[in-house]
Amino acid sequence: MSDTESRRKIYAWEPWFFLFFGAFHLHRMWALVDRESYASFWMGLQENKEWPYFLIMGVLGSLCVLGIVTFVRQRKENYWWRWIYICGGAYLLFDLFAIATGMEFWHDLLVKMFDTGSKYWNVIWGGFIVLGAFVFCLGVSLLRKLCAGKRSV
């Protein structure tokens, strides 16, 4: 085992990060089952910005910041999957910022994403579901390795 491999660490919260985000993306199966209620729920949540919105976005944003900080702190001993913290975290933090500040171009994009008559509906939400399945499986894998006491993935 190399010196870098011996310093690598999977933190106890990391599998739960991926399990949470995986489940969050997998909930979008609802979008394939009932377009109208899914779009109505999420657009209403984003436009009304009541306490459930701030709770969900606060949890998501906090997890992204935690992941990005971990990536930066472990920059010499990172696993390949920690790049998800940078790429996905940066995207999500921008998304949250754009929604919170009411960026018009982002709102227009969201309106198009939640257009229940769009011929791309299944592709958009199906893509999120596939992403969620991958991330959830990664979380299961990390949890198994962490429980088994393994440090490398």
CB-based burial, 9-20: b 16+ in 10 Å, e otherwise: ebeeebbebbbb
pLDDT at 23: 95
Query: In this predicted structure, what is the pLDDT of residue 53?
Result: 86
CB 78 within 8 A of CB 70: no
Q: What is the pLDDT of residue 100?
A: 85
Tell me, what's the pLDDT at 15?
A: 96
Give 90's contacts (C-beta < 8 A, 6+ positions apart).
64, 68
The interaxial angle of helices 104-113 and 83-101, nearest 10 deg, is: 110
CA distance 82 to 9: 12
Could you tell me which of 125, 115, 127 has the C-alpha nearest to residue 32? 125
* Interatomic CA distance for residues 14 and 22, integer angstroms: 12
pLDDT of residue 50: 87
pTM of the full structure: 0.86
Complete DSSP assignment for 34-94? -HHHHHHHHHHHHHH--HHHHHHHHHHHHHHHHHHHHHHHTTTS--GGGHHHHHHHHHHHH
pLDDT for residue 7? 66
Q: Where are the domains of the chain?
A: 12-147
DSSP per-residue string spanning 87-141:
HHHHHHHHHHHHHHHT-HHHHHHHHHHT-TT-TTHHHHHHHHHHHHHHHHHHHHH
pLDDT of residue 2: 54
pLDDT at position 6, please? 53
pLDDT tens per residue, the chain (153 residues)? 555 555 688 999 999 999 999 999 999 999 999 999 999 999 999 888 889 888 988 998 999 999 999 999 998 889 999 999 999 999 999 998 998 888 999 999 999 999 999 999 999 999 999 999 999 999 999 999 999 886 555
What pLDDT does 14 receive? 95
